[in-house]
Amino acid sequence: MGKASILYRNPYLYLLGLKLLHRENFHKRYKYMASFSKRGNSVLEPACGPGALASYLSKGVRYSGFDMNNHFINHALKKNLNVKIGNVLDINSYIRSDHIITCDILHHLNPTDRKKFIKNCYVSTKKTFIVCEPIINHKNKKNKIITYLGKQFTEWIERDGTNNVKLEYFFNHKELSDLIDDGFGIIPSSVKRVKKRFGEDMVVVFFKN
Ligand SMILES: C[S@@+](CC[C@H](N)C(=O)[O-])C[C@H]1O[C@@H](n2cnc3c(N)ncnc32)[C@H](O)[C@@H]1O
């Protein structure tokens, strides 16, 4: 694992940071994503981080997850979550599940790896594939100094220990919306999809079945 930022070395700081950033939308987005799974269903969260999603699932839903970050995985294991070290780009890390839920991972990946990730998720789900992504308007900013500092800060704080995240990897509203409409180049147009905004996040649910 490469050098991760303080947020990605400390699950408590990471969760606090997320809560401060998203405020009431922190709960709303996880609640919404969790609402599609019912008692007896299985949920897999690739790039699960410390496993925050798990506590929003209904009783009787089986949660599992994997991530490259051993600080996060150890934290989740201490909470008795069914998680392991795994790579979203490696199909062997996936277990076929009723629902695949991914939150805040796409912008961490090199754009050349996105399709592989989407394909791995889509082939591994039986019912729904859910993607939650932040929306940032990082282009066309008038103040060059603020733009520059914002880029330096974002890239410094987003060092997850696996990827070299660039500000350009984030999507603006149109880019993400277009990618969703195009099924990220993987999901057929016949598959029903529903988009929903939660503050600065967009969640899309693909209904495979
Ligand atoms: C912003 S966090 C999101 C974590 C979690 N989904 C959540 O909602 O809190 C992004 C996560 O992606 C993980 N990650 C990045 N690249 C990965 C990869 N190739 N395979 C597995 N996990 C990866 C990082 O370790 C980090 O935990």
**Residue 47 belongs to some domain of the structure:** yes
- What's the predicted TM-score (pTM) here? 0.95
**Residue 1 belongs to some domain of the structure:** no
CA 103 to chain centroid, in Å, comes to: 2
State the closest ligand 1 atom to the C-alpha of 87, by its place in the atom list counted from 1: 20
Q: What is the pLDDT of residue 143?
A: 72
Domain count, the chain: 1
Best CA proximity match to 11, nearest among 169, 160, 162: 160
pLDDT in tens, the chain (209 residues): 568 999 999 999 999 999 998 999 999 999 999 999 999 999 999 999 999 999 999 999 999 999 999 999 999 999 999 999 999 999 999 999 999 999 999 999 999 999 999 999 999 999 999 999 999 887 656 677 777 787 888 888 889 999 988 999 999 999 999 999 999 999 999 999 999 999 999 999 999 97
**Residue 74 belongs to some domain of the structure:** yes
88 lines ligand 1 (CB under 6 A): yes
- CATH number of the domain that 43 lies in? 3.40.50.150
**Residue 53 belongs to some domain of the structure:** yes
Range of the domain at 188: 6-207
Give me the percent of the chain exceeding a pLDDT of 90.
Answer: 83
**Residue 191 belongs to some domain of the structure:** yes
120 lines ligand 1 (CB under 6 A): no
